[in-house]
Amino acid sequence: MERSERLTSAQALVRFLAAQLVERDGVRRPFFGGCFGVFGHGNVAGIGQALHERPDLLRFVPARNEQGMVHAAVGYARQLNRLGAWVCTSSIGPGATNMVTGAALATVNRLPVLLVPGDVFASRLPDPVLQQLESGARGDVSANDCFIPVSRYFDRIERPEQVVPAALAAMRVLTSPAETGAVTLAFPQDVQAEAFEVPKEFLAERIWRVPRALPDPAALAAAANAIRGARRPLIIAGGGVIYSEAADALRGLCERTGIPVGETQAGKGALPYDHPSCLGAVGATGTFAANRIAFDCDLVIGVGTRYGDFTTASKTAFRRDGVRFVNVNVAEHDAAKHAGIALVGDARATLERLTELLADYVVDDGYRAECARLAVEWDGEVTRLYAREQDPPAQSAVIGAVNDAARPRDVVVCAAGSMPGDLHKLWRTRDPKGYHVEYGYSCMGYEIPGGLGVKLAAPDREVFVLVGDGSYLMLPGELVTAVQEGAKLTVVLVDNRGYASIGALSRSLGTEGFGTRQPVGVDLAANAESLGARVFRAGTIDELRAALEEARAETRTVVIVVPTEREAEGVPSYESWWDVPVAEVSDTASVRAAREAYELARAAERRFL
């Protein structure tokens, strides 16, 4: 029996990737949904040849922009709760470095994506080749070294047989709940085409099981004791609740104990918006319901959160003297934050165990009633903001119209600008996978390719992409890919003629919106139509509602352009703060006034030791 097969290293890698399966809770599925790519001289004869020769192995989708295809891969992985990923391949030089931003986004958000950029010749014989970065101090330097700090795992395959250990190490990281992120296998273009004897075992089907680890029993006991001793505990639900599919476990714990929940951007949807324990968004983009409870809570139970500055309102959200933390996280690094009791384990398994340990614990009836009252009051505020009338429409009214048009399982996608903060506060989420805002890296341009990834992962769901004009202009090209692949998106393009979020921040810092206005005369609707989308122009909320209704029946990607006023009154900050430094010395009176306000607010920042 033959124990090997002679293949190029690129052919071996493609065969290996197609044979990888992932399993959790007894459910097994192929790990890779396909491969996005833009071909050039650095990968067309290697990875490109391998994909062309065996189209049955991995679905290939040609992309328009290398950064965009990584964003699409990330959207796919997030929608599948990190149990699926895409490969992204590029040529050397700018094709590769275009993917660096996407790699950083994936790693910051702890979402798996496999990057296979072409690289310079390992033989160094024809050096310097087209697009090669040279250094007088190092002979082995490559532009792909840029991936090292933004990848969870990096390797350069300099001999064909090295593809075997590199691919196995890549899968270990990609399928690890604690370590996942961008994995980069830099692949020299000559090595991709070189052949070796590939062991049959390497090409065989391989199952990667994702465990549900429980924390140390002593830590669980200590956490349960801390919760029993708390009078005003608050759960902060982060992305780990969603990724571990722990929404039901969280709901069970809340209903058993009465502990209220505030949600991070990644954790929004952990509870339905109308659940009596759901206080909504917490922190710098939080609701008054969540923030008021956070101010006076005596114990914070963080579940699957990394405590970013928006979640903690730059460490001003939790103000009670002596406030303590219990942290549930698969990553030890995050579980140890704020000197908390570290429960290193799977969110669902840990919440189920805590529910058992807390069978005799409930919060005070007065505290439960206070939280329920605030939740109802907050829902009334959302209704008020949804109904805000002005010409052109208010952004909150745009969100309300889209929310009304969306069904419970539909998905809203966003990433940057003023929209994510408003969505965090206002979107009425009814399904754990219905809210998809990339706010770990808050990357302008993520929205359309991210929405494409969501649609590829969940073709049975309607996907609404909310994007501002500034973000749209950075990366609209994957509209073409969505049309090409028949992946229908409904894009609501809010045209406020500039960078509204940073414009508002600039004005609050005394610098009058400097550098944030867009030139007049840009026809975004015409641009979207030229890329293959069906386009609606909606000048009023009624016109937007009519366009949304018509869009649902459409089979191809739709773009609805809605004008808003960039300097109109926005959604309030609801007693929260975000630390953005103001110039300590300035000739401008408005800057000096902003600095005084900054100093007062910064005095509330604290360390949790």
Please name the residue that has the structure tokens 């010409």. 391
- Does the pLDDT value for residue 519 go beyond 70? no
Q: Give Cα 465 to chain centroid, integer Å.
A: 14
pLDDT tier, 241 (very low <50, low <70, confident <90, very high otherwise): very high
Q: 522 and 439: one domain?
A: yes
Backbone CA torsion sign across 500, 505, 510, 516: negative
444 and 541 housed in the same domain? yes
Q: Looking at 167, 188, 209, which one is the last position of a domain?
A: 209
How many Å apart are CA 287 and CA 381, to the nearest integer?
A: 9
Within this chain, do residues 108 and 186 fall inside the same structural domain, yes or no? yes
**What domain range includes position 517?**
390-563
What is the spatial distance between Cα 607 and Cα 609, in angstroms, rounded to a whole number? 6
Q: Are 99 and 478 a contacting pair, CB within 8 Å?
A: no
Identify whether residues 314 and 426 lie together within a single domain.
no
What is the C-alpha separation between 40 and 99, in angstroms, rounded? 14
Same domain flag for 201 and 60: yes
Does residue 340 sit in the same domain as residue 281? yes
Decide if 68 is inside a domain.
yes
By DSSP bridging, strand 435-437 and strand 463-468 are unpaired
Residue 444 tokens, joined: 């302008």
Of 328, 354, 377, which residue is a domain's last? 377
Backbone φ and ψ for 460, nearest 5 degrees, come out as -85, -5
Quick one: pLDDT at residue 512? 75
The CATH number for 361's domain is 3.40.50.1220
Give the C-alpha separation, 335 to 261, whole Å: 18
Query: Which of 123-137, 260-274, 580-594 has maximum average pLDDT?
Result: 260-274
pTM: 0.97
In a domain, 402, yes or no: yes
Residue 514 confidence (pLDDT) above 90: no
Within a domain: 569: no
The answer on 8 and 135 residing in a single domain is yes
Residue ending a domain, among 377, 405, 424, is 377
Give the total number of structural domains in the chain. 3
Paired sense of beta strands 261-263 and 233-237, if any? parallel
User: Pairing relation of β-strands 20-24 and 27-30?
Assistant: antiparallel
Q: pLDDT, tens digit, for every residue of 343-382? A: 999 999 999 999 999 999 999 999 999 999 999 999 999 9
Asked if 423 and 536 sit in the same domain, the reply is yes
The token pair that represents 121 in the structure block:
């010749």
Quick check: 270 and 237 in contact, CB under 8 A? yes
In this structure, is residue 437 part of a structural domain? Answer: yes
- 108 and 246 together in one domain: no
CATH number at residue 501: 3.40.50.970
At residue 403, φ and ψ (nearest 5 deg) are -60, -40
Give bridge partners of residue 113 from the DSSP assignment. 182
Q: Are residues 356 and 267 located together in one domain of the fold?
A: yes
Instruction: Please report whether residue 271 resides in a domain.
Output: yes
pLDDT greater than 80 at residue 518: no
* 63 & 186 share domain: yes
Q: How many residues does the chain have?
A: 609
Strands (E), 63-149: 85-90, 113-119
